Amino acid sequence: MLQNWFIMSPELSLLAYLPAAFLINRFRAEKTAKTFFTLSKIFLLFTLVTTVVFYNQSPLGPWLKNTSYSTLFKTLVYIVSLAWFYLSSKWFLNKNRSSYRFYSLGMWTLFLFSLLISARHLLVLAAVLPLLGLSARGFILMHWDEEKVAAAGRLYGVFAALFSLLLWSGVALLHWRLGSLDYAALQGAFSAGEPRDFYALLGVCLILSAVLFMLSAAPFHSWFVGVISCATLPVCGIFTLIAPIAWLFCLVALVAKAFLGLAPLLHGILLAFAVVSLFIGAFSANGQTNIRRLFAFVGVYNTGFLLFGLINFNSDSIMSAFSYELIYVLAMIGVYTVFLGLKSKSEYLSDVAEISGLSHVKPYISAAFLVFMFSLVGMPPMLGFLGRLAVVNTLVTSAQWFDVGILLVSVLFMANAFLNIIRTVYFEPLKNAFDRTDKSIYISLFVNLVLVIISILNPAYVLLGAETVLKGVF
């Protein structure tokens, strides 16, 4: 029994932050945004270390299971969270706002993501998804201009409740038809050709729709675009950088461990969502005047590209999707770091026109922004080219030429959206007096660019042996 408590120490560490932060917020007179970041950093580092130590230990039997590949995704979530928590503290310090609520919601959300990634039973997913929806709504409403986010909060709340009901309905249908909700039992039943009637297939589709909603796949993307357009920068980072990694693994685990026997059906479903996400993301990004809204559509486009990487359901496709997501997150961290450096009169800028002539006064930030956009569009030799190449190579290997054509056409439309930003930054006159950028922003950009350069020279340094681990998914 004591051993199980030790094995659960990563999750317990995330929960332990909550009372510690509450006591500090309640009784400590001197506290800043950095106070809660420092506290979260201590607990999160402990969580990261113990996750690696207990990478193959599972305290709750069939409900939760830790493996080498679930540990890989958890580790990535925690590392990205550490980086974003650090950058977010700069935002709160600049705004002179309390960060207690943000870091508390952040650690609670990481706890739920940890359960989601370890889940091997549909009841765990059914319990965690609504809680993550409530946490996400808490993040959305964490704004001091309530009118600005009220509509986005209502929209998300309605959709989250709807898709939670769809998930529960799907779980109920599968339990009724198959008598079990354990991933291994479902895998065995579907692989053996057991009930594949309308109700069982409907249950699978309802469950996948809830996961695709959380991944912001089109046409379920409107909540995501609305939130990124109006939420605070720290909150936007949670939705854009951290959440997609956890939901990607959830989708991989569902397909690989529970529904692989339905591969032909799932191929068609995910392909449809991939195509719609690609073109809605690429087309809608063009002509956007709000730079955060533009990159929200980049996120939708990324989801489509990610789904293309998954549709073959083999170790190569999982590896290509993971590589693409890792590279996308690295580039988007850079983009959001640039956002933190775009200030005028102490206000963070959000319109494309407001960064006109940025290169004249902030050449380093402009150059970094250019590199990250080139990476996101997949221009060689940038890191993003490697991610897209991994996905395209998987499709070429299986002779899916139509899919390859769709990907290449969508890239052209996305490149056009980025050209508009490049023209504004480099070729239009200066309109704003930009505030001095914090030194930590420059340091973060430098570290990010070093990682990009190293990855261009040797991509294996970024993947860190992930290929060997991910081959064990199937």
Answer yes or no: are the C-beta atoms of 62 and 121 closer than 8 Å: yes
Asked if pLDDT for residue 458 goes beyond 60, the answer is no
* Neighbouring C-alpha atoms within 13 Å toward the C-beta of 6: 7
Other beta carbons within 10 Å of 146: 9
Q: What does the pLDDT read at residue 434? A: 82
**From 52-56, 87-91, 270-274, 314-318, the region with the lowest mean pLDDT:** 314-318
CA distance 365 to 341: 8
Helices 68-95 and 315-340 cross at an angle (nearest 10°) of 10
> What 8-state DSSP symbol labels residue 56?
T
The token duo for 403 is: 């899919």
CA distance 392 to 42: 40
Q: What mean pLDDT do residues 98-127 have?
A: 93
pLDDT tens-digit readout, 423-456: 888 888 887 788 888 888 888 888 887 777 766 6
Q: Distance of CA 395 to CAs 200, 292, 405, Å?
A: 29, 31, 10
Of 467, 470, 462, 468, nearest to 330 by C-alpha is 462
Three-class SS of residue 340?
helix
pLDDT tens-digit readout, 324-351: 788 888 889 989 999 888 888 778 888 8
Of 247, 262, 397, nearest to 307 by C-alpha is 247
pLDDT-based confidence at 384, cuts 50/70/90?
low
Answer yes or no: are the C-beta atoms of 90 and 440 closer than 8 Å: yes
Asked if pLDDT for residue 363 goes beyond 80, the answer is yes
The token duo for 182 is: 């354990």
pLDDT-based confidence at 145, cuts 50/70/90?
low
pLDDT-based confidence at 239, cuts 50/70/90?
very high
Contacts of 399 (CB under 8 A, 6+ apart): none
Answer yes or no: are the C-beta atoms of 376 and 447 closer than 8 Å: no
CA distance 373 to 382: 9
The token duo for 19 is: 């009372």
Asked if pLDDT for residue 468 goes beyond 80, the answer is no
Of 336, 436, 293, nearest to 84 by C-alpha is 336
Measured at the CA of 123, the angle between CA 3 and CA 134, to 5 degrees, comes to: 95
Amino acid making up residue 118: S
Answer yes or no: are the C-beta atoms of 181 and 123 closer than 8 Å: yes
> Exposed, middle or buried, 5 (CB in 10 Å: 0-12/13-18/19+)?
exposed
pLDDT tens-digit readout, 257-277: 888 888 788 888 888 898 889
Q: Hey, where are the domains in the chain?
A: 262-474
CA distance 64 to 124: 8
Of 398, 198, 413, 201, nearest to 311 by C-alpha is 398
DSSP string over 386-404: HHHHHHHHHHHHTT-HHHH
Of 410 and 146, which is predicted with more confidence?
Answer: 410
Other beta carbons within 10 Å of 184: 14
Q: What does the pLDDT read at residue 24? A: 92
